[in-house]
Structure 1
Amino acid sequence: MSRRPGNPSRRLADDGSIPFVASIQSKSQNSPLLSIGLVIVGAIFLIGYFYSSSGGASSDVKDFSKLEGGASCSSEVLQALPVLKKAYGDSMHKVLHVGPDSCLVVSSLLEEEDTEAWGIEPYELDDVGAKCKSLVRKGIVRVADIKFPLPYRAKSFSLVLVSDALDYLSPKYLNKTLPELARVSTDGVVIFAGYPGQQRTRGEEVAKFGRPAKLRSSSWWIRFFVQTGLDENETAGKKFEQASVKKAYKPACQVFHLKSLP
């Protein structure tokens, strides 16, 4: 579309100045408080913008919930804690979390009343804070390759939570890792896995995990559980679904409930 030619006489005064600017200058000269007020209002808007961008007090969780463009299932564990407590009850008193960012998940679990928590970080820890270093130093969080037997005795934990770890394993290693997770638990294993189609930055993934995630469908997982000889915990799954409805919780990741090994 063509623009209408502007009328210079409407934009410029006889002396060549811009009327709107001249008006503001005149008002500013007449009222110094106006300038001060504008500066204060501008500062308030800037502070509000930066605070909302950083997320305020919840910035750590918000940053944690974004895995370079895709959902982090470890952050999903944090959001699902109230639902898990409803579904598993006393089984939440001794929990093992397996997956990246285990320090943050374990720290949150330890804040729960009457809850013991441990963690396994399957990948090297880089640029972690003092709190995470303390958990590792105390042996509460361990760095261990989950493709090999877990460093725990059978039925060491009441419940095992797994997130953002199995998506990076091939079926060859899943055949060994899944039974190990069921071996060290007494009341079941809860798996948080990504949905097919969730996008993640492959360069970032390969740098940290050695390979991009393989996000599988629910039908693929169910077939794999059967092939591996693991049974789904239907009772716990129904309780989880009921609690999710009551608390208006909609998982951003797939959630599977498995029984422990006999």
Structure 2
Amino acid sequence: MSRRPTTARRPADGGSIPFVGSFHPKSRPSPILSVGLVIVGALLVVGYIYHGSGGRYDLEAFNRLEGGSCAVEILSALPFLKKAYGDGMKKVLHVGSDTCSVVSNLLKEDDTEAWGIEPYELDDVDGNCKSLVRKGLVRAADIKFSLPYRAKSFSIAIVSDALDYLSPKYLNKTLPELARVAADGVVMFSGYPGQQRAKMPELSKFGRPAKFRSSSWWVRFFVQSNLEENEAAIKKFEQAAAKKSYKPACQVFHLKAYH
């Protein structure tokens, strides 16, 4: 974004600055100059996002510009999730927006199978996402109701950028469903209170703005819903993260599966 140039005050004695008399104090920048500044600004933004060998996108930089995403945080936390769950990371279900990107990255990991659920219709997706849908690895489903999987179909379920949009009424259905289909537990990524809210296009998809809750709110909700936090996984995750000085940009909760 170009900044409007500040008009300097003209000194009383114009002769003290060479050529000052050639500038009219009320002159305006030409339209061509304004357009040029906008184009340069846009190129700088694109250059910031699109860099590195092979022309790969820096997803973290992109999401910083777009307001942030807990889906990106999953990729940052992946090494520590592996430390916490070990073999439990071999068969993963991701639920939330940008699930095609998450599933694609998970499939690059050795010995990892991954599936994804988008909480709204898959519109205007890229070729990679269409391929995942054709293979049956990604599907759209209303997460406010029963998930289309049998109990313990996956080792672990990871949810991001979805629960913040649900009211407690539907959270009471969605979180137990995730605990039902995951054998080794649920990892939940949620925004911090005060974080930037969703962009307008996302509001139409979810039907309501995000409501970021505090960790104490979530803990009370877990207790009321008979969902038990996975203390062993929490300890392993935090120890691994501390060794690398990793601090998540989103809240991370670990819940036990239903047995």
1:247 to 240, 244, 249: 244
| Cα distance change on mapping 1:198 and 1:118 into 2, 3 Å | same
2:117 to 111, 116, 120: 120
Deviation per CA, 1:3-54: give whole Å up to 9, x if none: 352436x726xxxx9xxxxxxxxxxxxxxxxxxxxxxxxxxx99x9577423
8 Å CA contact 1:64–1:72 kept in 2: the answer is no
Amino acid at match of 2:154: F
The answer to whether 1:55 aligns with 2:50 is yes
1:136 to 128, 133, 136: 133
What secondary structure, in the 3-state scheme, does the structure 2 residue paired with 1:109 have? helix
Match of 1:234 in 2: 231
**Taking structure 1 as the reference length, what is the TM-score of the superposition?**
0.80
What secondary structure, in the 3-state scheme, does the structure 2 residue paired with 1:256 have? strand
Amino acid at match of 1:11: P
Match of 1:188 in 2: 185
Amino acid at match of 2:13: P
Question: What's the % identity of the aligned pairs?
Answer: 67
**Taking structure 2 as the reference length, what is the TM-score of the superposition?**
0.81
8 Å CA contact 1:122–1:143 kept in 2: the answer is yes
8 Å CA contact 1:205–1:213 kept in 2: the answer is no
| Cα distance change on mapping 1:51 and 1:64 into 2, 3 Å | closer
Match of 2:18 in 1: 11
1:208 to 205, 210, 223: 205
> d(CA) in 2 for partners of 1:106 and 1:201?
22
Aligned length: 229
Richer in helix (by share)? 1
- Deviation at residue 245 of structure 1 after TM alignment: 1.1
1:168 to 155, 165, 190: 165
The answer to whether 1:95 aligns with 2:102 is no
What secondary structure, in the 3-state scheme, does the structure 2 residue paired with 1:155 have? coil
Deviation per CA, 1:170-213: give whole Å up to 9, x if none: 11111111111000011110000001100124533322221100
> d(CA) in 2 for partners of 1:97 and 1:64?
21
Which ranges in structure 1 are unaligned for 5 or more consecutive residues? Answer: 18-44
Deviation per CA, 1:201-237: give whole Å up to 9, x if none: 4533322221100111101100000000010001100
What secondary structure, in the 3-state scheme, does the structure 1 residue paired with 2:57 have? helix
8 Å CA contact 1:68–1:201 kept in 2: the answer is no
Match of 1:65 in 2: 63
Which ranges in structure 2 are unaligned for 5 or more consecutive residues? Answer: 1-8, 23-39
1:153 to 147, 150, 153: 150
